[in-house]
Amino acid sequence: MIHPEYQQWRLDTPQQSLVLSSENAALPTVIYWGSSLPAAEDLTALMQMATYDINGGSLDQIAPLSVCPQASEGFPGQAGMALRDAQGKALWTNFCFKEQTLHENDLVLRFHDENLGITYQLDIVTDTANNLFTLSAKLFSDPAIYIDWLAAPVLPAPQNSDHTLEFSGRWCGEFQLNIAPWSAGCRLRENLLGRTSHEHFPGLIMPTTNADNNSGSAYGLHYGFSGGHKMLTEELSDGRRQVQFGHPTQSDRKLTNSFETAPLYASYSAVGLNGLARSFQGHLRSAIVNFPDANKPRPVHYNCWEAVYFDHDIDVLKDIAARAASIGAERFVLDDGWFKKRHNDLSSLGDWVVDKAKFPQGLHPLIQHIHSLQMGFGLWFEPEMVSEDSDLYRSHPDWVLGPLHQVQGRQQLVLNMSLLDVQNYLFTQISTLLSEYPIEYIKWDHNRVLPVVDAAQTQGVYSLLDRLRIAHPNVEIESCSSGGGRADFEILKRTHRLWLSDSNDALERFWMQNNAALFFPSEVTGSHIGPAHCHTSGRELPIAFRAWVAASRHMGFEMDPRELSDVDITIIKEAADWYKANRHWLHNGFIQRLDCDDKAVLGEIQLAADDSQFVAFIAQMEVSAQTLPRPVRLCGLETDSMYNISLRNPQDRAPTSRGAPVLKEHNITLSGQYLMQRGISLPVAFPATLWIIEGIKA
Ligand code: DGJ
């Protein structure tokens, strides 16, 4: 049957289908999002099946949960846009289909409101290789209007789901996973902190009932913006559910003729959360991060922050650099404290010139020494900030963002990055240093929340980064914001590494890394061996645990190497050598989270892209409830393939371990089926033990 009143669009990856349908030229609705539909599926029949009944107490039509639900259509929940004219009067849009462009699998749809002169544009780009869609919405208006809210294309949330998984966090505790049960009404998360933030990572996982890391269906979303966001999940009284992401509502207050949301990355997995992790990690690798030299392996870092803090003495730094190189470092990053009068965090931000008292001949002698040790050199900046006690503030108090009577953060103020003068100043300061010195790496920090939420601030930072990247294309950049306060896909279009957390406590770091792996692959996730006595938790953890947690991502050191014993050095060298020998496949592979049956154990497996080998990192996080370790089930292996597996570090077993689990002494060959179904038996372990199990396909 032909239904001229319906228009449909279908987008596919090998694992999922997304079908949109529009009735009578109205804004389209996602009528199917899930596992791939057969090619022969009749999309009109899908539309017919998606048509709801009408019950008592309802309006006479069920308003569509479209890609931008409209209050003017009687939508009974949160609308996807809120617009006002220049006088502040609410605008009620009535969009009608205008045109479409479909290139391969990339879709652009435009809908126009004749009366108001406003166009809504929906863009969907399909990454077939990584099973992911990138969606964004744009508005164009002939008269200038206020856009109080525009959601990225709105997606229906599954009704066969008990809860969503949200992210929260804090300084030294990023990427905490929270269960948010579905219930009637709207749940709103709005990040008004002006940066991606520790508190509200802009991601959401929607598992269907009983889904876990490795089974069941799940939907994953990430809003790629570094200036905060608003996310809402809503269950309507008729049972339908929606999820919306967009900029924070207060971040774009100006009259405008156009607006574009940030990209919303969306994926569906029929194989649990790990399918989503694979999609996000793969998409980030192939479409987001742009390394100056893709063939250059990720070097082992040494960062001097926790060794010396602001106390920069050139002889001490040279000594530390030599020791760092001898244990495997390949890049030395000079952290905070190198610039004019910066002796603590009370002053100097903005004055980006080398401190002559600490470095009388500039940075050249230190850099030459570092180069003589075969290491590259990196330098810390915090460009968006200014200290009240600085030459910059004294000459430009007018460059500060927000009111001058604001409460400061880390005794510092923020520069108004939307001002071209500010961007030009910072570009010149940073570019001059990058031209004068052979700096291959910037650690770009951002140590406070903003006094006001303002998207123009974020766009200003992006512009500055873009300009610097063009002028200095070989310089890599790390995104740091008191640790992981600015970790998102949009900043990673301009940077190459995330400083995931200021916590170098390896127990804390391990679970943070495990959760962050839902979105971020190994090669962009920085992880350092911190001091023996952890500066942020006060804990003392075994060197083997600290070393191997760091080796499981983009490895680095941050302890004072002068504190290391011979045993420490041997263990660190072994981990660094292993990292160097394996990074070529680890940094093209995929991290998958294990479903551990012992709640005191947390684990992951990293699989080579060609499935030829793997390494599993299995951490004893606390004391188990039962006497003996439960078998650990691996995942992501080929059921019929045989794997030769070995335990790299049987010596790390607990002193109470008296039995003979085979891996204590021998390698063994087992099928993927067995390893995933029954799992491996490990020796007894004390908390803060990290088992390293390596597997090669036989
Ligand atoms: C916060 C960062 O996260 C630390 O690693 C360090 O760079 C300090 N800032 C320096 O002030």
- Residue 299 has which token pair? 């070097």
Q: SS3 of 292, please?
A: coil
| Average pLDDT value for residue range 49-64 | 92
- Residue 283 has which token pair? 């998409």
**Nearest residue by C-alpha to atom 5 in ligand 1:** 502
pLDDT in tens, 268-319: 999 999 999 999 999 999 999 999 999 999 999 999 999 999 999 999 999 9
Is 154:65 a contact under the CB 8 Å cutoff?
Answer: yes
How remote is the CA of residue 196 from the centroid of ligand 1, in Å?
17
Q: Can you tell me the distance from the alpha carbon of 527 to that of 301, in angstroms, rounded to the nearest whole number?
A: 9
Q: Which amino acid is at 250?
A: Q
Hunting for tokens 């107490």 — which residue is that? 57
Per-residue pLDDT at 643 exceeds 90 = yes
- Residue 355 has which token pair? 């401190």
Residue 379, ligand 1, Cβ within 6 A: no
How remote is the CA of residue 277 from the centroid of ligand 1, in Å?
28
Residue 252 burial (C-beta neighbours within 10 Å; 0-12, 13-18, 19+) = buried
Residue 4: per-residue pLDDT:
62
Q: Which of 348, 480, 505 to mutate to test the pocket of ligand 1 (most atoms within 8 A of CB)?
A: 480
Residue 172, ligand 1, Cβ within 6 A: no
pLDDT in tens, 585-640: 999 999 999 999 999 999 999 999 999 999 999 999 999 999 999 999 999 999 99
Hunting for tokens 């008269």 — which residue is that? 143
Which candidate in 113, 252, 445, 454 is catalytic?
445
DSSP 190-208: EE-SSSS-SS--SEEEEEP
Residue 253: per-residue pLDDT:
83
* Angle made by CA atoms 174, 177, 178, in degrees to the nearest 5: 125
Burial 599-613 (b: 16+ CB within 10 A, else e): ebbbbbbbbbeeeeb
Q: What is the DSSP letter of 40?
A: T
Q: What is the DSSP letter of 418?
A: T
The reply to whether 502 belongs to the active site is yes
Q: SS3 of 533, please?
A: strand
- Residue 274 has which token pair? 């790990």
Q: Can you tell me the distance from the alpha carbon of 331 to that of 282, in angstroms, rounded to the nearest whole number?
A: 26
Which candidate in 351, 488, 502, 598 is catalytic?
502
Residue 104: per-residue pLDDT:
81
**Nearest residue by C-alpha to atom 9 in ligand 1:** 482
Q: Can you tell me the distance from the alpha carbon of 659 to that of 626, in angstroms, rounded to the nearest whole number?
A: 16
Q: SS3 of 475, please?
A: coil
Confidence of residue 404 (pLDDT cuts 50, 70, 90): confident
Of 294, 295, 587, 299, nearest in space to 441 by CA = 299
The reply to whether 42 belongs to the active site is no
Could you tell me which residues are beta bridge partners of residue 8?
21
DSSP 383-400: TTEE-SBSHHHHH-GGGB
Q: Which of 198, 333, 336, 486 to mutate to test the pocket of ligand 1 (most atoms within 8 A of CB)?
A: 336
Residue 2: per-residue pLDDT:
53
Could you tell me which residues are beta bridge partners of residue 526?
499, 554
Flag the least confident range among 334-338, 451-455, 508-512, 684-688. 451-455
Residue 367: per-residue pLDDT:
98
**Nearest atom, ligand 1, residue 483 CA:** 3
Residue 483, ligand 1, Cβ within 6 A: yes
Residue 340 burial (C-beta neighbours within 10 Å; 0-12, 13-18, 19+) = middle
Q: Is 6-288 a domain of CATH 2.70.98.60? A: yes
* Angle made by CA atoms 52, 74, 65, in degrees to the nearest 5: 50
**Nearest residue by C-alpha to atom 11 in ligand 1:** 336
CB atoms closer than 10 angstroms to residue 87 = 6
Q: SS3 of 536, please?
A: coil
Q: How far is CA 618 from the centre of its chain?
A: 22
How remote is the CA of residue 281 from the centroid of ligand 1, in Å?
26
Q: Can you tell me the distance from the alpha carbon of 333 to that of 329, in angstroms, rounded to the nearest whole number?
A: 10
Residue 482, ligand 1, Cβ within 6 A: yes
Residue 235, ligand 1, Cβ within 6 A: no
Per-residue pLDDT at 467 exceeds 60 = yes
**Nearest residue by C-alpha to atom 2 in ligand 1:** 482
- Which percentage of the chain shows pLDDT scores above 90? 97
CB atoms closer than 10 angstroms to residue 651 = 9
The sheet with strand 241-246 has its strands ordered as 155-156, 241-246, 229-235, 185-191
How remote is the CA of residue 336 from the centroid of ligand 1, in Å?
7
Domain chopping of the chain, boundaries: 6-288, 301-585, 594-697
Q: Which amino acid is at 362?
A: G
- Residue 88 has which token pair? 């502040």
The dihedrals phi and psi of 406, each to the nearest 5 degrees, come to -65, 160
Q: Which amino acid is at 241?
A: R
Residue 305, ligand 1, Cβ within 6 A: yes
Cβ neighbours of residue 517 closer than 8 Å, sequence gap 6 or more: 277, 281, 525, 591, 593, 604
Confidence of residue 658 (pLDDT cuts 50, 70, 90): very high
Q: Can you tell me the distance from the alpha carbon of 502 to that of 480, in angstroms, rounded to the nearest whole number?
A: 9
Is 103:97 a contact under the CB 8 Å cutoff?
Answer: no
pLDDT in tens, 376-401: 999 999 999 999 999 999 999 999 99
Q: What is the DSSP letter of 656?
A: T
Residue 313: per-residue pLDDT:
98
Residue 447, ligand 1, Cβ within 6 A: yes
Q: Which amino acid is at 570?
A: T
Residue 215 burial (C-beta neighbours within 10 Å; 0-12, 13-18, 19+) = middle
Q: How far is CA 535 from the centre of its chain?
A: 25
Q: Count how many residues are written for the chain.
A: 698
Q: Can you tell me the distance from the alpha carbon of 113 to that of 97, in angstroms, rounded to the nearest whole number?
A: 9
**Nearest residue by C-alpha to atom 1 in ligand 1:** 482
Residue 339, ligand 1, Cβ within 6 A: no
Q: Which of 499, 503, 505, 512 to mutate to test the pocket of ligand 1 (most atoms within 8 A of CB)?
A: 499
pLDDT in tens, 543-579: 999 999 999 999 999 999 999 999 999 999 999 999 9
Q: Can you tell me the distance from the alpha carbon of 595 to that of 273, in angstroms, rounded to the nearest whole number?
A: 10
Q: Can you tell me the distance from the alpha carbon of 353 to that of 367, in angstroms, rounded to the nearest whole number?
A: 16
Q: Is 594-697 a domain of CATH 2.60.40.1180? A: yes
Residue 444, ligand 1, Cβ within 6 A: no
CATH fourth-level superfamily of 301-585: Aldolase class I (3.20.20.70)
Is 199:193 a contact under the CB 8 Å cutoff?
Answer: yes
Of 558, 549, 551, 554, nearest in space to 511 by CA = 549
Q: Which of 380, 387, 410, 527 to mutate to test the pocket of ligand 1 (most atoms within 8 A of CB)?
A: 380
Q: Can you tell me the distance from the alpha carbon of 312 to that of 344, in angstroms, rounded to the nearest whole number?
A: 11
Hunting for tokens 């009577």 — which residue is that? 405
* Rounded alpha-carbon distances, angstroms, from residue 472 to 40, 114, 287, 385, 439: 51, 47, 21, 22, 10
Residue 267, ligand 1, Cβ within 6 A: no
- Residue 29 has which token pair? 């609705």
Residue 21, ligand 1, Cβ within 6 A: no
Of 337, 346, 335, nearest in space to 310 by CA = 337
Confidence of residue 3 (pLDDT cuts 50, 70, 90): low
